[in-house]
Structure 1
Amino acid sequence: MEHASAAAIIDARGTVTGWSDGARRLTGYPAEEAVGRPVRELLAEDPPPEAVATLAGTVVLRHRDGSSVALHLTACPVLGEGGGPAGYVITAPPGEREPSLTERAFQQASMSLSVFDTGQHYLRLNEASCQVMGVPAETLLGRYFMDTVLDVGYNRGFLHHLEQVIETGRPTRYESYAHAPSSNREHAWTTEMWPVRDADGRLIGTGMAAFDSTEQYWARQRLALLNEAAATIGTSLDLVRTAEELIGVVVPRFADFASVDLFDWVLGAEEGPALTDTEVPLRRVAHGSRTGGTPEAAVHLGEMDFYPSFSPPARAIREGRVIVSQAGEPAFMRWVAERNARAPAGQRHRAGVHSMMAVPLRARGTTLGVAVVVRISQSDDYGPDDAVFAEELASRAAVCVDNARRFARERSTALALQNSLLPKGLPGQAAVEVAHRYLPSGSLAGIGGDWFDVIPLSGGRVALVVGDVVGHGISSSATMGRLCTAVRTLADVDLPPDELLTHLDDLVTHLAGDDSDDEVAELGATCLYAVYDPVSRRLTFAAAGHPPPALVLPDGTAECVPMTAGPPLGVGGLPFEAGEVELPEGAIVALYTDGLVEDRDRDIDHTTSELCRALTAPASSLDALCDTVLKAVLPEEPSDDVALLLARTRALGADRVATWDIPPDPAQVAQARQDATEQLTAWGLDEAAFVTELVVSELVTNAIRYGEPPVQLRLIRDRTLICEVSDGSSTSPHLRRAHAYDEGGRGLLLVAQLTQRWGSRQTGSGKTIWAEQPLPPG
C-alpha cells in the first residue's frame, strides 16, 4: 500500500469526491480535509494548457504545509449514464513525484528544520535534523518528541518551548548548550520556533529551526574571557598574584587545569640568561584546577622543575609559539607518562586528559616563562581558534608579569639608592637623643623621596631635618640624595633655618630649569629644618610646605607647634618665616613626612590628633615610641612613604658653660687667657690648658683687632671642649698662607692645626668664631 499510486476522484463540477492514502502522503491533506473541496483550491498554479488537452502533464499542487509540490499527473475520464464524462480519476505513479524547489531547499538546508503537530509529534524533518538526531526520518515521523530523546534537562526545556508556542500562539527564540543525540560533544544551539496556521488561521503545528552556533558561542566566550582578563589580570604589581589572576580567568571555563611557571631570574632583579637546547629550569608560581586542592599538579608551588627538551612547555619556550598537543600523539603521551612517574599520587586525577596547550609568556621581546592549560573533563580538544585566544591572553598576562618584574627591580634599585643616602648611624652629639623610622611605600606608585637627617652644628647645637620629594621611583630617590647633600652643605655654613630654605629653594629651581626632562621639570619638595641649642634650650625652625613638628612636654601634654609653613621648594621668589620656641629638658620633638598623617581616605585633623595622642603613650624608649606611633596612626597599607624622627632634648647647665664679656682692649687678651685657664682647672681639664690658651689668645686678639664690639668669650664643655669668640662684625675670617717675612696671618692656621675643627657662623648681631678640641681622656 505504501508504494501504491496516489489517486483522487473529481466529479464533473471539479469537486474532490475520493482521496487515496498515497495522495495524503504526497500532499499532506488527509481525506477528510480534501474530499468535498474544489480541486482548484489544491492547485498552486493553473495547469498548463497542453496538460489539460492531453489529460497528462506536470501540475504544481499546494502542500498542506504551504509549500509547492510538482507532480506528473494522469487523468482518466469516468463516463456517466448518457455516455458523457461524469468525472475524472487522477493518478500519480509511484516514483514519479518531482520535488519542488522549496522541498529541495527544506531538505538541503544546513540548519536543522523540523515540523511538529500540536501534540509535539514529528511531521517532517530535513536531512540536517536527521543527522543531529542520529536516525532517519522514518524512525521519527509520527512519534512524540520526548519518546525520541533522553529525559534530561535540556530536552525538557526544548519540549517546554514547543508547548509554549502552541499555548501562546507566539514565536519564541532561545539559546541552549547541550549534547546532540548523535554526539557526545556539547553544542551551542540558537533555536527558533513559530506557530503554523492553516488558511482559516487555525493553529495546526509548530515549525522549528535550530542553528548550531557552537563556534560563535565559543568566540563570545573567548571574547568575554579576554575582557575579564583585561579587568582582573594585573590589578597589582606582584608577580605571584598576577600569575594567580591568570589562572583564575582560565579555570574552569577554558581549562580543567592550568599552571604558570617562570624563570628564576624573573622573580629577582637580574636580567635573564640565554636559552639553551637542554632542560629548561622553571619555577612554579601558580596553578589551579577544577578539582579542589589541584591534585593533578606534579610540581608544588615554589618548586623548581626541569622540563625536558621534548616536553610541550620546553618547546613553547624554545620555539616562541603555542604548542597544541592531543591524546595519541607520541610527545603528548610521553609527557603525561613523565608527569605520572614524577607524581604517582595524582595519576588518577590525570586520567582522561586529552588535550593541552603550552603558551610562552613573552613581553617586550623577552620570554619570561610558560603557561600550560589542560582539558580533562571538557570533551572538546583545543583547536586553532583556542591557540590564537591563548596566545592573546598570554601576551596580556606576560605584559602584566613584566610590569611587575620591572616594578620590583626599580623598587629594589630605588630602595637601595635611598638606603645608601639615608643616615646609617646618626652622628655623635649630646644635644638630643634621637630615634627614627623609614617605611617605604608598598603602593603601585613606588618608592618615594622621603628623607631625614641629624646634623651636628657648632656650639653643641644640632640640626633636625625631614623632607619629601614629589613623585616616586628612582628619579625621586636621586633627587632626594641631591637635596640631602645640599642641606648638609648649607648646614655647614651654619645658616639660620629660613635662610637655608631660601638657598635650598633656589637650588631646586635651578635643578628644574637646567634639565629638559619632564619629570625633573616638575620637581618639587617639602622640607622642615630645625636647629636646637642645648645651651639656650631654644628650637628654631622653618618649613617649606611641610607639616609642623609635634611637641610633647615632660608633663605629658602634646601639641603641634604653631608655625607658618612657607611654599614648597621649587616655587621660587617667596620668603620663608622662621619660628622659635623654648623647650624644657626632656621634651620630645616629632618631625615627620606627610605620609604619616595625610591620605585621601583620612582626615588630616583627625590623624594629627591621633599622632599627638600616640606620642603621649608610655614607652620604654624612643625606639619603642616610634613603633607605637606608627602602629596607632598608619593604616594597614600606607599609600605613601613615611619618615618619622623623634628627638628628646637635653640641656647644658650653667656648670658646663662659662661666658666672659671682653672689653675691646688688646691688654685684655692676657686676662681672657687666665680666665679660660682657671675655668679649665675648675672642670678638671688642665691637660687642655696649653692648646686652649693659644686658641683663646688668637681668637680674642683677632676679634679686638679686626672686629667690632661687643666681644664675648664662651667655653662649653660638651662631648668636646668648645671655644667661641663673638664680635659685632659680620666679616668672616679665612685661612691664608703667610710668607716668610709676614708679621701676621699665622694665627688661624695655628688654630686649625691644633684643634679638631673650627669655623665661623653669622649671628643676628655679628659673627662667632669657634674651635673644638677633644676632651682629655679620663
Structure 2
Amino acid sequence: MRSSPWRGDAWPSVFGEIATVVIDAQGTVLCWSRAAEELLERTAAEVCGKPAEDLLADTSEWCCRDEAEETGIPHAGRALLRHRSGDVVEVAFQVSPLPASSLLVLAAPARRVIDWEQGAALLRALFAQDQIGIGIHDSDLTVVRTNITPDMFGGIGLSIGGRLADVMSPQDAEGAEAALRRVLDTGVPLVRHEQWMGSPQIPGGRWSALSAFRLDDAQGRASGVAALCTDVTGQQRPRRELELRYQASVQIGASLDVKHTAQDLVDVLVPAFGDLAYAALAEAVLEGEEPPKIRGGGELHLRMASVASASGPWPAALIQPGEVFPPWPDHPVVRGYQRGEAVILDRASYVDAFGTPEILGRFVPEGGHSVVCAALFTRGLLLGSIDVWRTEQREPFDQQDAELLAEIASRAALSVDNARRYTREHRAAVALQQRLLPQATTDSLAADTAGVYLPAGGGAEIGGDWFDVISLPSLRCAFVVGDVIGHGLPSTATMGRLRAAIQTLADLELDPTELLTHLDDLVSRLATEAGPEQQDTIGATCLYALYDPVTGCCTLASAGHPPPILLRPDGTARVLEELSPGPPLGVGGMPFETTTIDLAPGSILALYTDGLIARADHDVDAGQRYLTERLAAHYRPDGPLQETGRALLAEAADSPSRDDIALLLARTRVLPPQATAAWEFQADPAVVTDAREATLQQLAAWGMDDLAFTTELVVSELVTNAIRYAGGPIGLRLIHDVTTLICEVTDPSNTQPRLRRARWADESGRGLFLIAQLTSRWGSRYDQSGKTIWAEQLLPLATAT
C-alpha cells in the first residue's frame, strides 16, 4: 500500500484556528493558548488568574445546547466574547471535564464552525452520489479520496493512492491529467470538459463531462485538485450529430464551384465524423455535364475531387486529388452505393470486397479499421461518392453513422448538382460573351490595340462590359468601350445588340455625337421592349473615339462613361478631363458633345469601364488617380500592350470586383507626310484635266504606275460629279499604305451619292457604277460643311498575297 499523500506541513490542519482554555472549578482561567490570544488579542498574562466571566460580552444569557449539572456551565453552545478592541466575537465552544474538577474549553469563531459543518455535510452528500464521480487528487495528482466504484462507469473504479493511468488507457489518462495539471497550475477551473475514457475494462469506452477546481490550504497554497465527472456517453452522440448537421448546413453549398463544394463536404466530416475522407465526382460533373448512368464495376469515370486528413497532409500513398479512379470489381457494395445506399465496412470486409492491390494500396489508409461510404445521389443522378475512414478514432462506424452520412451526402449532392448546373450555364454564358467580344489584339496603320476583360467576382459572374476596335475607311479607326447595367445573360445579350449597332453605325461614318444619339434611341427601344417592370434596369454607358492616322486627331464623345487616360510618349499620364460626358444611353432628350485632341505618335489611349476604378470608399477620383499612376508605372515605349493590360487587371483582381472590368489600350500611329497628297480645285469642268494630271504625277512619284489608268478614271468621275452636282471648292486627296491606295474627293454638298444602273440609251449615270467595279470598296461620309466620297484600291502586292 501507498502511504498517505497528506503528510508534514502539507496536511490541511484546522486546529490552528481552535482556541484552547483551561478553567478551574471556580471559573478562573488557568491556561490560555496562542490561538485564544489571536482570537481576542489578549495575552495569557492578561487573562490567566481572572474569572472567565470577564471575557463574556453578555453574561445574562448563555447560547447553550444543554448545561452541566455540577458547574452550571454549558457542555457546548455559542457565546459572545469581548475583543480587546471592544468588538464582540461570536464563538462556538465545546467543554470537556479534566481531573481536579477543571474544565477544557475548545472555541472557534462561529462562522468557521458553520463552514466546517456545511463543508462536511457537502462532502458527505457528494461522496454519497452514485451518478456524479468525485475524485480528490493531491499536488502529484494521486487519488486521496473518491467515490468512483466499478459500478459507476461500467467498469472503471478509482482506488485511493492510485492514478488515472491505472484505470484508463495511457493516451486518455495523459489527456485527463494534463487538464487537471492546468487547473492546479493556473487555478482556472475546468468546466464540462468532454473526456474520452478508454479502458480495457469498458468495451468501446465512454464519454464523461469533467469539471475540476483547485484546492488551496490555509496559507493559500495549491494542495490538490477536486474533479467531478458525469457519464455523458448517451448525450454526446446526439449532440455531436446535431452539431455535424448544423455545420453541414452552414458550410456545404456556400460556393457555386463544384470542387469547392466537394472540399467543403470533406472538411465538415473531418475530424468531427472520421479521420480521413475523400469525395470523388464523375468527370462529367466536373465539366458541368450530367454523369453517365453506370451500374456495376469497371470504369466508373470518377475523379478524386477533394480530400481531408485529421492528422496532417494527405498521405502520399493514397490516391491524390485530380487522379482518375482505377477499374473496380463488380461487387454488391459498388451496386449498393450506385443505388444511393450508404455502406459500412470494416477493414477485413473491405479487403474481401476490393482485394486488388491497386485499390487496397491507394484507398485504404494506414491504420484504417472502419469505413462508411455514401453516394452523392440526387435527381436520379449519381454524381459521385464520399468515403470516410476512422484510424485514430477507436469507435467503429455503425448503422446510425451510415444514416447520418447518407443524410449529409444527400444534401451535399444537391449542392454539387447546383454547382454543376451553374458551371454549365456559366460556361455557356462565358462562351457567348467571348464570341461577342472582339479579338484581344489588333494591329493596323492607325494603332495597335489590346483589350482585356475580367468578369465580376473574379470570374464568377458575367456582365455587359465590352470593348471594340472598328477599322474604318481612309485608314481611320474607332475605339469603343461600354458598360451595360446589371449582370448575367440579359446584360450580355444587350451588350451584343449594342456592339452590333455600333459597328453598323460606325460603317455609316457618322460623327461620334450622331452615333451616340442613334445608340441612345436604340437603348430606349430596348427598355420599352423589356416591359414596365424592367425598364429601369435597361441602360448603358459608352465612350466612342474616332482616330485619324493621317492628321493624328482623335474625336471623342461620351455617354455617361468615365473619361479615358492619355499616356504620352514621354511616359507621363493624365485623365482627359476636358471630355464632357453626356447622359447615359437610354435617358434621352440630352445632347452629346465631341472633344478633339491631337495625339503624338506612340501615345497610348486607355479606355476602361468603372469596375477598374471602383474603390471600397466609392471615391471615383481616387480610383482614376490610382489607375493613372499604375498605367504610367507599367509604361514601356515598345512593350506589348497585352502585358500592360494584364498587369493592370491582375492588380485589380487582388480582391474580386463587384463589377465587370473591360480595358482597351490603343497605341496610336501617324501616317508619314510622304504617304499623302492633297489638292484643291474650283468648280470648273476644266480642272478635271488638272486633277487627272496631278494624280498621274503623284502615282509616278510613288511608283504606282500600274494603278494609273484605274485611278485616273476614278478621279475623273468623282471630280466631274462634284463639279456637276455640288459646286466648289473641291478637294482631292490621295493616301496610300503598303496595301491600299485611297482616293478622296470632298465637296460642299450634303447630297447622298446613289449607285444606279443606267439604261443603254442614257448618256450619264455610269460613273459610280464604274467606280464600284474598278475599286475594292467605296463610300461617303459627311462633315459639318459637306461630304467626302472615297474609293479604295488594293495594291498589286496586297492582291497577290
State TM-score, norm by structure 1. 0.71
Match of 1:762 in 2: 782
Matched, 1:262 2:276: no
Match of 1:577 in 2: 593
Residues 485-539 of structure 1 deviation map (CA, whole Å, 9 limit, x = unaligned)? 2111110011111221222222223223323597897233332211111222211
Matched, 1:565 2:592: no
Which residue among 150, 154, 164 is the counterpart of 2:167? 150
How many Å separate the matches in 2 of 1:505 and 1:278? Answer: 62
Which residue among 505, 508, 533 is the counterpart of 2:523? 508
Which residue among 239, 256, 263 is the counterpart of 2:258? 239
How many Å separate the matches in 1 of 2:346 and 2:294? Answer: 26
How many Å separate the matches in 1 of 2:455 and 2:191? Answer: 59
Which residue among 573, 595, 600 is the counterpart of 2:616? 600
**Cα pair 1:132 1:180 within 8 Å, conserved:** no
Match of 2:395 in 1: 380
Matched, 1:466 2:486: no
Matched, 1:751 2:771: yes
How many Å separate the matches in 1 of 2:419 and 2:727? Answer: 65
Q: Give the Å deviation of 1:371.
A: 0.4
SS across alignment from 1:360: strand
Residues 154-203 of structure 1 deviation map (CA, whole Å, 9 limit, x = unaligned)? 8879999xx9xxxxxxxx9946443377523343446999xxxxxxxxxx
Matched, 1:495 2:516: no
How many Å separate the matches in 2 of 1:695 and 1:683? Answer: 18
How many Å separate the matches in 2 of 1:341 and 1:544? Answer: 65
How many Å separate the matches in 1 of 2:330 and 2:240? Answer: 33
1:320–1:296 CA distance, 2 compared to 1 (3 A): farther
How many Å separate the matches in 1 of 2:460 and 2:153? Answer: 57
**Cα pair 2:440 2:452 within 8 Å, conserved:** no
1:525–1:218 CA distance, 2 compared to 1 (3 A): farther
**Which residue identity lines up with residue 590 of structure 1 in the other structure?**
A
1:442–1:364 CA distance, 2 compared to 1 (3 A): farther
How many Å separate the matches in 1 of 2:686 and 2:714? Answer: 16
1:573–1:445 CA distance, 2 compared to 1 (3 A): farther
**More displaced 10-residue stretch of structure 1: 239-248 or 558-567:** 239-248
SS across alignment from 1:307: coil
Residues 184-225 of structure 1 deviation map (CA, whole Å, 9 limit, x = unaligned)? 3343446999xxxxxxxxxxxxxx998754343222222323
Match of 1:701 in 2: 720
**Which residue identity lines up with residue 329 of structure 2 in the other structure?**
P
How many Å separate the matches in 2 of 1:396 and 1:359? Answer: 12
Structure 2 spans left out of the alignment, 5+ residues: 1-128, 138-142, 185-189, 213-226
**Cα pair 1:497 1:541 within 8 Å, conserved:** yes
**Which residue identity lines up with residue 585 of structure 1 in the other structure?**
P
Match of 2:761 in 1: 741
How many Å separate the matches in 1 of 2:420 and 2:136? Answer: 66
How many Å separate the matches in 2 of 1:116 and 1:464? Answer: 84
Q: Give the Å deviation of 1:622.
A: 4.1
Match of 2:270 in 1: 251
Q: Give the Å deviation of 1:550.
A: 1.6
How many Å separate the matches in 1 of 2:655 and 2:522? Answer: 34
**More displaced 10-residue stretch of structure 1: 245-254 or 609-618:** 609-618
Match of 1:301 in 2: 321
**Which residue identity lines up with residue 723 of structure 1 in the other structure?**
C
1:485–1:234 CA distance, 2 compared to 1 (3 A): same
Residues 715-768 of structure 1 deviation map (CA, whole Å, 9 limit, x = unaligned)? 223342222222222221222233333333322112111111111112111222
**Which residue identity lines up with residue 304 of structure 2 in the other structure?**
R
Which residue among 355, 360, 374 is the counterpart of 2:375? 360
**Which residue identity lines up with residue 589 of structure 1 in the other structure?**
L
Q: Give the Å deviation of 1:628.
A: 5.5
SS across alignment from 1:443: helix
Aligned residue pairs, count: 638
**Which residue identity lines up with residue 689 of structure 2 in the other structure?**
A
1:668–1:468 CA distance, 2 compared to 1 (3 A): same
Which residue among 236, 258, 273 is the counterpart of 2:292? 273
**Which residue identity lines up with residue 284 of structure 1 in the other structure?**
M
Which residue among 480, 484, 497 is the counterpart of 2:499? 484
1:177–1:635 CA distance, 2 compared to 1 (3 A): same
How many Å separate the matches in 1 of 2:152 and 2:385? Answer: 41
**Which residue identity lines up with residue 752 of structure 1 in the other structure?**
A
How many Å separate the matches in 1 of 2:295 and 2:781? Answer: 66
**Which residue identity lines up with residue 523 of structure 2 in the other structure?**
V
**Cα pair 2:733 2:743 within 8 Å, conserved:** yes
**Cα pair 1:237 1:444 within 8 Å, conserved:** no
**Which residue identity lines up with residue 522 of structure 2 in the other structure?**
L
How many Å separate the matches in 2 of 1:254 and 1:122? Answer: 34
1:726–1:397 CA distance, 2 compared to 1 (3 A): same
How many Å separate the matches in 2 of 1:224 and 1:124? Answer: 31
Residues 82-116 of structure 1 deviation map (CA, whole Å, 9 limit, x = unaligned)? xxxxxxxxxxxxxxxxxxxxxxxxxxxx9947899
Structure 1 segment 654-693 matched on structure 2, within 5 A:
654-693=673-712
**Cα pair 1:114 1:122 within 8 Å, conserved:** yes
How many Å separate the matches in 2 of 1:315 and 1:116? Answer: 50
User: What is the percent sequence identity of the aligned residues?
Assistant: 43
How many Å separate the matches in 1 of 2:438 and 2:133? Answer: 85
**Cα pair 1:295 1:346 within 8 Å, conserved:** no
**Which residue identity lines up with residue 408 of structure 1 in the other structure?**
T
Matched, 1:775 2:795: yes
1:635–1:376 CA distance, 2 compared to 1 (3 A): closer
**Cα pair 1:469 1:524 within 8 Å, conserved:** yes
SS across alignment from 2:582: coil
**Which residue identity lines up with residue 718 of structure 2 in the other structure?**
L
How many Å separate the matches in 1 of 2:511 and 2:793? Answer: 24
How many Å separate the matches in 2 of 1:680 and 1:597? Answer: 50
Q: Give the Å deviation of 1:284.
A: 1.4
Structure 1 spans left out of the alignment, 5+ residues: 1-109, 164-171, 194-207
Which residue among 576, 589, 592 is the counterpart of 2:605? 589
**Cα pair 1:509 1:571 within 8 Å, conserved:** yes
How many Å separate the matches in 1 of 2:174 and 2:572? Answer: 75
**Which residue identity lines up with residue 244 of structure 1 in the other structure?**
Q
How many Å separate the matches in 2 of 1:462 and 1:315? Answer: 65
Matched, 1:335 2:361: no
**Cα pair 1:455 1:464 within 8 Å, conserved:** yes
How many Å separate the matches in 2 of 1:155 and 1:625? Answer: 61
SS across alignment from 1:648: strand
Matched, 1:614 2:633: yes
SS across alignment from 2:502: helix
**Which residue identity lines up with residue 197 of structure 2 in the other structure?**
H
Match of 1:59 in 2: none
SS across alignment from 1:732: coil
**Which residue identity lines up with residue 187 of structure 1 in the other structure?**
R
How many Å separate the matches in 2 of 1:415 and 1:624? Answer: 22
How many Å separate the matches in 2 of 1:462 and 1:123? Answer: 94
Cα RMSD of the aligned pairs, angstroms, is 4.2
**Cα pair 2:567 2:632 within 8 Å, conserved:** no
Match of 1:725 in 2: 745
1:777–1:189 CA distance, 2 compared to 1 (3 A): closer
How many Å separate the matches in 2 of 1:285 and 1:517? Answer: 46
Q: Give the Å deviation of 1:263.
A: 0.8
State TM-score, norm by structure 2. 0.70
How many Å separate the matches in 2 of 1:725 and 1:403? Answer: 62
Residues 577-597 of structure 1 deviation map (CA, whole Å, 9 limit, x = unaligned)? 211111223322222333433
Match of 1:34 in 2: none
How many Å separate the matches in 1 of 2:582 and 2:205? Answer: 72
Structure 1 segment 89-108 matched on structure 2, within 5 A:
none
How many Å separate the matches in 1 of 2:753 and 2:130? Answer: 103
